[in-house]
Structures are given as structure tokens and as C-alpha cells.
Structure 1
Amino acid sequence: MTSDLDCDLAIIGGGLAGGLIALAFAALRPEVRLLLVEQGERPGGNHLWSFFDGDVASADRWLIDPLVAHRWPQGHAVYFPGHRRDLATPYNSVTTVQLAVALERQLGDRLLTGATADAVDPRAIHLIDGRTIRAQAVIDARGAGDLSALRCGWQKFVGHAIRCDDPHGINRPVIMDATVDQIDGYRFVYLLPWDDRTLFIEDTYYSDTPDLDVPALDARIAAYAQAKGWHGEVVHREQGVLPVVHGGDFERYWPKDDPVARAGVRAGLFQPMTGYSLPDAVRFALWLANQPLDGLPAATRAYAKAHWRRGGYYRLLGRMLFGAAMPDQRWRIFARFYRLRPDLIQRFYAGRSTIADRIRILCGRPPVPIRDAMRTLWNPPA
């Protein structure tokens, strides 16, 4: 092995979590010799990460703002049967391309692509090509860990960006269009107008299973676009399955005897009810950049365990969604939620609901049968 692969900090996984850690260290601790190790030809994969302005603290925006490819200061909208609402909170999207360009520019030869790990330990990454990367500390940010340790529903989706022949007429993101047929759980369409002719259309489901029938969703997106009068060429595709965690065992997900530091979804750092990880990825990257490299496994595990404890309320809501609501009626939970105050909605997505918020979300006329809700809540929580 050549000595130029030795480093102070090795990050394995060049997605959002690993990429933000690398960018935070490059900006705040340039003296740390880091290496970002990605198995793909470019970091980032094929993803679109979006966030509301309130999801990321103003003092932390410097880390994520250079990666924003699209911003909608005019706010966003939601559609439900019999109810449409416009909300003023600005919305932003980060693309894989923006993340990859930033990492390539900032890291240079400290970015190692096309490198697949065979084994990882606290001070080394062993690659399948026989090379070993030795480091003072290693961070594992390779996506989800052992999800069998968690009780999950699933948010799954297929997205198409369409270059329309004519202006599409959508002037702000539509976070949820739940006026569509309810299939395979709670279904909604998500719309992002990238420009006046380019529209990202995502068909999304809160489902009991992670199975993703891509051809069927492709056809539904095409039918939705046709019904709206949008015709054109598909210029981008993506798909994904996110865990919506409503229970499980953190000690199994990240055993005490696992000595490797973790980040991102592998550490359980996401909003349990939505599966979204960008706000937590920003917070964690900036926290980590202020930690000593010695002792990272214990420090990151303690951080993740505290996050798991704070997520108990959101896991409770997930149990209600998946345990008390019939699949084709789950939209009613979200429709009721979107009648609440905008500031409450904002804090919910950021994972920062106050005690008053939590009470307000659960009180009032229930959108699911009381008996089913109580039976679900009385199940032993994890």
C-alpha cells in the first residue's frame, strides 16, 4: 500500500452524511488529513435531498447552502381532498451533482472513488483490491445498518424530471398532492418546479413493505403528467426506499461491542417519522468537526443513542400511522396535521417539536379510530 492513503480521518461512504463531514472538516479543521472513500465513480449517488428553511439553523447554513441547486423563497403547497394550503416557509433542494462538485473541488486527491471496502475497523479500511487505508479514526457512513433490529414502515418513491414541451404552470413546490388514488398505503405526488419547463414529479408511498414496483410507478407518473397536460422528455430518474421507524432496539442496531464510529442513517440519525436525514446530517457534521479524533466510536454512539431517545415521540406517531390507520385512510392523518399552525409544522419536520406541539398534534378529533389507536399505543414500545 502507498503511504499517501494513510490519513488522520478516513470516512467511508460519500453520500450526504459522509460528504458533509468531509466538507465540515475541510473548512474548520484543514490540518486534519482526511480521506473520503466512495465505492462509486463519483460521490453522492443519485439522490435529491430537500429541506425547509427552518430545518437547518441559520448559523449552520454556510455548510449546506453552497450545495443548494434549487430554492423557492415563495414557499410551498399541499393538496388533500377538499383542502389546499399554501405555506410561506421557503424550500430548498440539494442535488447529487452539486454535492459531487463541491467534494471534488474541496477535497481533490483526498477523495478516493471506485473503492469498495472488504472490512472496516476503528483504525483501518481494508479494500477488496487488497489495499489498506490506515487512519487515526474511521467513520462508517455507508447507509443503513441492520434494519432487522428496527420496526419499520417505509417511505418509498420513484421520481422523474420532465422537460416539458410547454410551461408547466407550477410556481412553487407541492410537498404532497394526496388527491391521487390511494394505493399501497398513503400515496401522494411530490412536485418540484426546477424551471418554467422542467418539473420533477415523484410518486411516494407510506407503505407496510419496502417492495418497490418501479415500472408500475413509472406508469403512474406518466399518467399523472398526462392528466395535467404535461408532455415532454424524461431527463432524470431516481428511486429510493426510506425507513419510517416506529420501534426497535437501538442496542441491536448499534451494538456496544461494535467499535467503529458511525454517521448518517447507519447511526440512526434521521427523523423517524419521515425518514429524512439532511437536518441531522448537517448538525452531526458540525458537531463532529469539534470532537477529538481519539474516542470517536464511543462519542458518536452516545450522540446517536441520545438522538434515539429524543425520537421516541416520532416513533409513537409512526406506530399510530402504521398500526391504527387503515392503509387507504392514512392520508387523513396528514390532512389533519396540515391544518395546524405553520410554526408547529416546521418544528415537526426539523425534529424539534415542543411539548406543546406534541400535545396539540395528538389532541382534538382523532383521524383514526380511538380503539385502534389505543390498541396500538398500548403495544410495548421499544
Structure 2
Amino acid sequence: MSGDKGAQLDLVIVGGGLAGGLIALAVQRRAPDCRFVVIEAGETFGGNHRWSWFATDLDDEGTELLDEFTLNRWNEGYEIAFPRYERQLQTGYRSLSSDVFHERLVDILPPEAMRLATRVEDLDAGGVTLGDGTRIDARAVIDCRTFRPSKKLAGGWQVFLGQHIKCEEPHGLTRPVIMDARVDQLAPHGNGSAYRFVYVLPLSEDEVFVEDTYYADQPRMDKSILRARTQDYARRNGWRGEVIGEETGILPVVTGGDFDAALDAQRIPGVAMAGTRGGFTHPLTSYTLPFAARNAMVIADRVAAETGANGEELAALCEARSDSHWHATGFYRMLGRMLFEAAQPGKRVDVFQHFYNLDGALVERFYAAKSSWIDRLRILTGRPPVAVPSAIRALLSRGTPFQSQPSKENRA
């Protein structure tokens, strides 16, 4: 990317979470002459998170980008369990911790390209103003800060608490358990009705990550309840040991609404938006990494182009991709309405139980948000997991508007 040598940078990335960090990495790799900085308010890149995805979610470029990090890899598939059946699927699975994410970015990025523990007071098409009044001018700015759900959008919430346990003895697991729904669906959540499951990752021979997750109508979390349930699940499986890490999250599950109006409320003219702020997430699963990786490569390629890219060009690029993503994922928002509006609380598990009994390749495409029309017909046909009249009302609904904001557990 070209530009006059002076105080002005080529690019400023605001937010060093998953999206911002991957953009910085991709730009460093694809456009080494680009003068950029990524600014993060926290002490580390990525915060305190663990991102996971299926190996088939990424194309070759995305896989190469993520191979920069030391990943947890499971190549022999994963397991799911429901009240009516248990099943093993063959798709490989990957996971990345924010500790590894931070350490590798610090190793790769030039020191002058990183500003941690730095608050941005204001940003515009020409640069950013920091909390201490310092001005950083740039040809282009990308806003990767956290997306705040708007009343213009509708949906529910995915709430979770996960614990990293160092076991006293080997746990015996060889594959992840992506969803164990053989747990009490009507147990108290401190959050009203929900669909609940447990998610398990064997990180090493004697380390396991256990997460209690539920889809709920309100963005509330009672950590004491979730901690007790996570520990109870671990004990019932014979995993005793020390908790050496914990992660919490409250993520929006968008089921409808006026997307343009929601983005307009936070859009800054000439500033590109990426990550969850730009709507780049799977509407039903809340997975973000595949979309963050693809956007990082597209943005880096544009920055590396001979003519470079100014703020307006990058803003237009990201807006077009965001709009395309919204329209391409409407099917999953419709399924979200089925979950939240058509299924009775204790029966929401039936929606997922029906889905995971389908073909493994269909499940792969679903998580990658690439379901074919045949996939969609198969998901919607057969014995309905919800009452037909309720399903019809949900299909015609615009969704339930978000009524409140999540607490600090929300993550980018």
C-alpha cells in the first residue's frame, strides 16, 4: 500500500480482538510495506476467550492464516449426545486460546504496529483520537470494536461459562463433545427458559475445558449456578482437579430486524466495520472465526493492491460484504425464530436433536453457513420438532426485539 512517508499511517485498526488481530496479521503477511497500527483497550489481544471451528469452515487461505498459531486439533471427529441418541461425526475440529493468540501476534507484529491498554476516544475517516488526546492520522480506519445489540434487531442470547480444569488423572477423552444435551433442560438458569447443553474439549491428556451453555430469552447470567453445574458435570465424569482458567460470554443470537438501521446507528462515514460490529457472525451458532478469517484475507488483499485503499474504499468493501452476509444467512435467523418463538422451553432440545440426526456433510455446511437448498429442505422436513401452528407463526414473525444489553461477559 503506498502513501507519503510522514506522520500519517496507511491504516489504523481499532480493536485487537479476533477480527482486528487477524486483519493485522493478514496485512503484515500480505502488505509488509503497509504502515499500520492495531489499538486495543485491553492489556492483551483477544481478551479472555477460546475460539473454535470445524476444519471445513475455512478455505485454504483461511487455514494457512490460522496455522500461524499453535492450535488444539482433533482430526478424528467429534461427539454429540441427546436424550434419544449419541453420535460421532467425522469432521475435524480446531480451537485457539486467546493466550496463544496474543503471544503469537506480539511475536509477529512490529512493536510500532501495536498499542495495548490504549483507549480510543473518537474515530473518523481520517484517523483516531486517543483517550489522552493524541491524534493518529491515517488513510484508512477499520472499526473492530464490540457490536452492541440494537432494539432495531430481534433475537435471544447464548450464555455460557467454561472452566479449564487440570485433572488429577488422565480424563480419557480423545475427541471433543460439541453438544451434550443429556442435562436437565428445566434447571434454573437465573435467566428464565432456555435450551441447555454442555461443551467439552480435551486440551491435553489431563486438561479439559468444560462449558455450560444455554440459549435464553434474556442476557443474564448467574455465575454461581453455572460454576456449580460445570463442576457437577466434571465430577460425574470423574474429572477431579484444579480450575486453572475460566471464560464467560453473553452473545446475541440475531433472529431478524432492520439490519441497515442497526448498523446506521454505529456507522461512521468513511470508516470500515469488521468483526461482530459489522454483523459478521453465524446467526444461530454465534461462531465468528470463519468469517473473521475470510474478511482478514479480503481486506489484506485490498490493502496490498498496487493502488492501495483509502478509508472510503475499505468502508464500501466491508459494507458490501456485510450486506451480502446478512442476506445469505437469513435461513439461520429463521431457524433462530423457530427455536425462541415456536419451541416450548423444555422442548427446545428437540430442535437440535432433530438437526444433529441428519447427514454429517449437511451439518458441516450448516456451521460454515453454506447450507444448500436441499439441506434447508431436509432440515425443515420430516417429523417437526415443534408444533406446526407455532412454527408457522415463527416463520412469519419478525422476531422479538432485543430489550436489554448484555453485561460485561459479552465478547467480540
Q: TM-score range by the shorter chain?
A: over 0.9
Task: Structure 2: state its 5+ residue gaps.
Answer: 188-192, 303-307, 402-412
1:128-174 Cα shifts (integer Å, max 9, x gaps): 11111111000000121343321121111000011111111211100
Shift of 1:199: 0.6
Separation in 2 of the partners of 1:68 and 1:107?
16
1:364 match: secondary structure: coil
2:62, 2:183 → 1: CA distance? 37
Give, in angstroms, the shift of residue 328 of structure 1.
1.6
**Structure 2 match to 1:370:** 388
- CA distance, structure 2, for counterparts of residue 290 and residue 196 of structure 1: 40
Tell me the equivalent position of 2:158. 155
Quote how far apart the aligned CAs of 1:374 are. 0.7
Q: CA deviation at 1:273?
A: 1.0
Correspondence list, 1:1-382, <5 A: 6-109=8-111, 110-182=113-185, 183=187, 184-255=193-264, 258-259=268-269, 260-291=271-302, 292-294=308-310, 295-380=313-398
Q: 1:48 and 1:9 mapped to 2: Cα distance? A: 27
Instruction: Go from structure 1 to structure 2 and tell me whether the alpha carbon gap of 1:135 and 1:229 turns closer, same or farther (over 3 Å shift).
Output: same
Question: TM-score, with normalisation over the residues of structure 1?
Answer: 0.96
SS in 2 for 1:367: coil
**1:380 to partner: Cα distance:** 4.4
CA distance in 1, matches of 2:239, 2:108: 39
**1 CA distance for matches of 2:132 and 2:209?**
39
Q: 1:38–1:67: structure 2 CA closer, same or farther, 3 Å change rule? A: same
Contact 1:122–1:297 (8 Å) recurs in 2:
no
1:68–1:92 contact (8 Å) kept in structure 2: no
Distance 2:7 2:221 in 1: 39
Distance 1:146 1:75 in 2: 34
Tell me by how many angstroms 1:377 deviates. 1.1
* Aligned partner letter, 1:262: M
Structure 1 position 65, deviation (Å) = 1.8
Q: Which residue of 1 aligns with 2:410?
A: none
Task: Report which stretch shifted further, 125-134 or 4-13.
Answer: 4-13
How far, CA to CA, are the matches of 1:225 and 1:4 in structure 2?
A: 57
In 1, the alpha carbon distance for the partners of 2:67 and 2:342 equals 39
Q: What's the CA shift string for 1:251-300, capped at 9, x where partnerless?
A: 11211963121000000001111111101001111111122422211221
Cα distance in 2 for residues equivalent to 1:14 and 1:268 = 17
Judge conservation of contact 1:68–1:95 (CA < 8 Å) in 2: no
Alpha-carbon offset, residue 223 of structure 1: 1.3
CA distance in 2: counterparts of 1:311 and 1:20, whole angstroms: 23
Whole-angstrom CA distance in 1 between matches of 2:179 and 2:209: 13
Give the Cα–Cα distance (whole angstroms) in 1 for the partners of residues 209 and 233 of structure 2. 12
- 2:285 aligned counterpart, secondary structure: coil
Q: Does the 8 Å contact 1:67/1:95 carry over to 2?
A: no
What is the root-mean-square deviation of aligned Cα atoms in Å?
Answer: 1.6
Cα distance, 1:125 vs. partner?
1.1
Identity of aligned residues (%): 44
TM-score (norm 2): 0.89
CA drift at 1:68: 4.1
**Take 1:173 and 1:198, find their aligned partners in 2: how far apart are those partners?**
12
The CA distance in 1 between the partners of 2:149 and 2:200, in whole Å, is: 32
Q: Which segment drifts farther, 289-298 or 317-326?
A: 289-298
Contact 1:244–1:275 at 8 Å: present in 2 too? yes
- SS of the residue 2:301 aligns to: coil
Aligned partner of 2:29: which letter? Answer: A
**Partners of 1:82 and 1:300 in 2: how far apart?**
43
Q: Would you say how many aligned residue pairs link Structure 1 and Structure 2? A: 380
Q: In structure 2, what residue type is equivalent to 1:242?
A: L
CA distance in 2, matches of 1:341, 1:137: 44
Asked if the contact 2:257/2:398 (under 8 Å) is kept, the reply is no
Q: Letter of the 1:143 partner, please give it.
A: T
Distance in 2, matches of 1:233 and 1:97, equals 19
Structure 1 residue ranges without an equivalent (≥5)? none
Partner SS, residue 138 of structure 1: strand
- Distance in 2 between residues matched to 1:306 and 1:13, nearest whole Å: 23
- Greater shift in the superposed pair: 220-229 or 142-151: 142-151
Contact 1:157 1:205 (C-alpha < 8 Å) held by counterparts: yes
Whole-angstrom CA distance in 2 between matches of 1:219 and 1:62: 39
Please tell me whether the aligned partners of residues 154 and 398 of structure 2 are also in contact (alpha carbons under 8 angstroms).
no
| Alpha-carbon offset, residue 208 of structure 1 | 0.8
